[in-house]
Structure 1
Amino acid sequence: MPTTSDRHALVLGASRGLGLALADELVRRGWRVTATARRDAGELGALADESHGRLAVERLEMTSSDELAGLRERVAGPLHLLFVNAAIDRGDLPIGDVPTDVFTEVMITNALSPLRALEALRGLVVPGGTVAVMSSEQGSVSLNTEDGYELYKASKAALNQLVRSYATRYADDGHTKLLLDPGHNRTALGGPDAPLEPRESIPSVVDVLEAQAGAPGLQFLDRHGETVPW
């Protein structure tokens, strides 16, 4: 088991919101972190400047297979944690009113691209390391009992199903595999009226990551470490 200062995490999608809070919390706990942003690093870059070399920033458009391949070449492993955080929301239309191009955009960003990222980067993760994806209770089919946000819910359910297929395909790779529900947070995606603040909820998410390190199989857990029903 590496010491805290030797642990290396790669966090994809860290320019703001939950990903930014995650990168910051890992650094606070002594991890060495490589974090990605799509364009201007902004606040993530400022955190890197203050991190005494423990946070490095890379640029990545996760929907680009070429950029994923380039990141794979630039990131020096080994990794003890690969964390994929990616989601967009394009409004609350009933699914019959969603334009085809919007449906495609959301599904590519929220479901396909995270799996492409796992496939491209999993080889950097050491045996016993963790591969985690930011999911949502909104992706739970059994908990879908209220109207609204049909496309976003479908994209998260698709993400969960694809990660489950991934976990089946790589059942013997020695990686801990997690889908994590961080709760409803005040972010650009979650909106200003959400009950949680990322810098309050993300430490609990990291607690779960650290507690589950080395656990076998795939789990879908909330920020308290409780199982979320599929």
Structure 2
Amino acid sequence: MPLTVMCLPYAGGGAGVFRPWQNQPGLPYRIVPVQLPGRDEWFVQEPRTTMADAARVCADQIRESAAGGPFAVFGHSFGALLAYETVRLLAADGAAPPEHLVVSGAAAPGVARPRMDGALLDDDAFVARLRGLVGYDHEAWHEPELRELLLPALRADLEIQDRYVPSPGAPLTMPVSVLRGTGDELVRYEDAARWAEHTSSGATVVDMPGGHMYFTQDWPLLWKTLGTLIEAHG
């Protein structure tokens, strides 16, 4: 059975971000997007408002999709923290752990990070602050109707991140790989390297060309890098 890579979205994103790549030829693993309420086909559901609730949604999907087979977990930015808490929740449930955790574009849990404080901002100010922090723009943010649909989930995810406190417990037991864009002004290298404090199997930082949303400019490089990392830790 081929290894499955469970992909958790960044703030405001949904499973649709990863679905175009599910049947990518030549990949040595299977991509399974993990969905969160308030987006895509779950749009009518209310977004989760705590990290614990969001992690529970992800853990349940991962357990079902893994079906007892080997898997790894990937998450970017907010999704990296969510991936970490999801893996911890799987362990607490006594479920089979992933063979590998790949976190991207995120400082380690417990590291102070810029706050959005979205509840204090109207939509224009919220988008402007996000654009300034991340160094990334999205065409949907300029379309009032699309923005109205997308911002509730984005606000909810970033509010979770603002309030996030890592869950207590022993370090993870699987290796952790940390992807970081070399031009990422939001996540310092030394803060990304501190993921090593959260696993007993070691963590490695991998430089990627680009900024915080580096992979949006070269998705094939992301999938190739994941394949290399998975093979190295297989």
Pairwise same-fold verdict (TM > 0.5): no
Taking structure 2 as the reference length, the TM-score comes to 0.44
By percentage of residues, which structure has more strand?
A: 1
